A and B are shown apart, each in its own frame.
Chain A
């Protein structure tokens, strides 16, 4: 059973608007969360992370929000740019898990110029 879920396989957003990508998890032991971005024919690239002691982490246009009670995290990209078009993966790990990252299936973001 998947422990990390990204229920939206795709998302289209107009350039300049906000993109919101969502991720849900089931394992309450997860305490470290990451977002990766993947372009075709490349490996996933680390984007931003958040520890469970925080509920928000911001890096430039990218902000990750964590709602522990809902076991939900989201990635906000604002403003969205055409170069942000990629597949975004959410991942989670537990401190006891020897850095075993559990990934979602990804959301394909298309930013329309």
Chain B
């Protein structure tokens, strides 16, 4: 595997479910990111991790809980989501979190019923 991978690619969940999105990067990068893209809206940064430490939380509701066990893996734990949370969730990585080009995974298309 090369680049940034994300699983699952598609997810349908009810509002009471708990699920997790997984991201893995094979680029040797030190920074990882979660973005959300809703229909007709620009990508919005959710979380930034640098060397496994969270350095940015863009006022994201607590029903989204990130986890970064090491520099290669990033999770987004979801629980009690709302239908308006339905969106494309993209993971990205960069060598360092200071004006480095970010490389994106294919995304997880999430539908909350």
Name A residues whose Cβ lies closer than 8 Å to a Cβ of B.
2, 4, 32, 34, 36, 41-46, 49, 89, 91, 93, 95, 98-106
Question: Nearest CB to that of B45 among chain A residues?
Answer: A100
Q: Given contacts A2-B42, A98-B55, A102-B42, are A93 and B103 in contact (CB under 8 A)?
A: no
Contact partners of B105 in chain A: CB under 8 A: 43
Question: Nearest CB to that of B31 among chain A residues?
Answer: A99
Which of A46, A95, A103 is the one whose CB lies under 8 Å from B43? A103
Name B residues whose Cβ lies closer than 8 Å to a Cβ of A.
4, 6, 31, 40-43, 45, 48, 50, 55-56, 58, 90, 92, 94, 96-107
Distance in Å from the Cβ of A79 to the closest Cβ of chain B? 25
Report how far A44 CA is from B101 CA in the complex, Å. 12
Report how far A101 CA is from B99 CA in the complex, Å. 9
Let me know if B102 and A99 touch, CB within 8 A: yes
User: 3 closest Cβ contacts across the A-B interface?
Assistant: A43-B104, A103-B43, A103-B42
Distance in Å from the Cβ of A2 to the closest Cβ of chain B? 7
